[in-house]
Every structure is written in structure tokens, then in C-alpha cells.
């Protein structure tokens, strides 16, 4: 993979996970793309980005990250029961 495509993928990934970066990019797409080291062609292409699709994808990824951090139902039950004296689990 070329360094140019790596920079583009890194830039897009940041847009998906960072609301502040998305807002800055939406305000001035070409300047933000240039700041990330993207070529003129890549910068011009990103100006025509599907904003609604980008926001939907960002919300979807955020929800998935949130759900991934949540404990499973069994781990949550185990934590609740461990507070009771007669339920002690070996760790």
C-alpha cells in the first residue's frame, strides 16, 4: 500500500471517529485534507463526500464501539451477585 493511500485511509478513519475533525473538515474540506498531507486530487475528491452517509457511518461506528465496551449479560450478573455475601466467585 502506498503512503498516499495510507494517509487517505488514516484521514477517513479519523473523520469516522472524531466529531471535531468532522466539523473542521465540513467547514473547510480542502484545507483540512491538505493539512493531512493529501494530494490535490484526493482533496478535490473529498469535497464531494456524502455528508449524510459519513454522519450515519460515524454514528454506527460509535454505537458499535459503545456496545463492545459493555460487559456481557453474564459478566454484569456476576458483578451484581459478587456484592452479595453468599455469592463469591473465584477469579
Q: Tell the residue number behind the cell numbers 477469579, with chain if given.
A: 91
Per-residue pLDDT at 33: 94
Per-residue pLDDT at 57: 92
Sequence-separated (6 or more) residues with CB below 8 Å from residue 42: 4, 8, 33
* pLDDT tens per residue, range 34-78: 999 999 999 998 988 899 999 999 999 999 888 877 777 787 788
Helix/strand/coil percentages in the chain, nearest 5: 75, 0, 25
Q: Which of 5, 21, 32, 28 is nearest to 55 (CA)?
A: 21
Domain range list for the chain: 3-49
DSSP 64-85: HHHHHHSPPHHHHHHHHHHTST
Amino acid at each position: 500500500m502506498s503512503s498516499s493511500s495510507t494517509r487517505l485511509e488514516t484521514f477517513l478513519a479519523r473523520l469516522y471517529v472524531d466529531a471535531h475533525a468532522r466539523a473542521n473538515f465540513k467547514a473547510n474540506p480542502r484545507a483540512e485534507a491538505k493539512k493531512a498531507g493529501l494530494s490535490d486530487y484526493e482533496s478535490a475528491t473529498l469535497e464531494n463526500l456524502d455528508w449524510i452517509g459519513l454522519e450515519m457511518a460515524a454514528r454506527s461506528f460509535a454505537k458499535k464501539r459503545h456496545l463492545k465496551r459493555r460487559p456481557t449479560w453474564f459478566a454484569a450478573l456476576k458483578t451484581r451477585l459478587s456484592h452479595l455475601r453468599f455469592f463469591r466467585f473465584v477469579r
